[in-house]
Amino acid sequence: MRKINKKALFISILLALVSADFLMQYVRSIDKPIEEKPKIAIYTAVRSFKPGEEILASDILEKKVDPESVSLLGITDKEQIIGKIVKLPILAGEVFTKERIATREEMQLSWQIPEGKRAINLFVNESLLFSDLLQVGDHIDVLGYFTGDAKSQPFVVTFLQNIEVLAIGTGKIKDNPQEADVTALEKTITLAMTPKEAEKMFYTSNGGQYTFALRKYGDNKVQSSDGVILDDFIPAKARMESGE
């Protein structure tokens, strides 16, 4: 009878047990579900916003995301967004950040002035406010009437274009249109202008007459205009008959 090598047998059994243990751990790892990382809520804009608009609950979209999958988390508490006022433009789909929104009390007029512009305040009447339909954020052109001098006729010219409305009366922020009181129209308007534009506006408000032309939303094109005089309204035939 051959003699059994007990040492070799012991090592073989030990290796078999170790292999079985590794095999069991591998099988368990396959059956074990992959643990998902906890997701966080981010809040994005349902629509685009202009400065001065109030953010409603319906304007906010909640998304559950992996924190590592986004570069900008923004505000993670929805209650800190609802009712706030937009300071800087927000595009649809962008996250809400503290830098772009503020409370009504924090909305200072100086924050709304574009770079390189100044805010100029004017006294206006109901017609210039388009029967109270003009709103903060709208853009206007300014037409002026000038009497001329001994050598020139009175003339009308569009001397300012694409001027932004910063405030109407004391309202830097758009109020709810349903709460508007058309019997209490504001008597002042604040516009954003370059220093040169402000000089032209101040000159006209003291030495001439002016009115506003409301621009279509999104239209920022500047068009050339030579202005008009009385002769532009008189047909050529009439001028010939008068001897002019």
pLDDT in tens, 16-70: 777 777 777 766 666 556 666 788 888 999 999 988 888 999 999 998 887 776 6
Q: What domains appear along the chain, each with residue ranges and CATH number? A: 40-102 (3.90.1210.10), 109-230 (no CATH)
Calpha distance 20→73 (Å, rounded): 47
Beta strands at 40-45 and 60-65: parallel, antiparallel or unpaired: antiparallel
Tokens of 174: 């758009």
The residue that leads in pLDDT, 133 or 201, is 201
- How many CA atoms are closer than 13 Å to the CA of 210, on its beta-carbon side? 22
Least confident of 6-15, 134-143, 232-241: 232-241
Per DSSP, 7 falls in state H
Strand stretches in 52-127, DSSP E:
60-65, 85-86, 101-102, 118-123
The set of residues, in sequence order, having a beta carbon less than 8 Å from that of 184 and lying 6+ positions away, is none
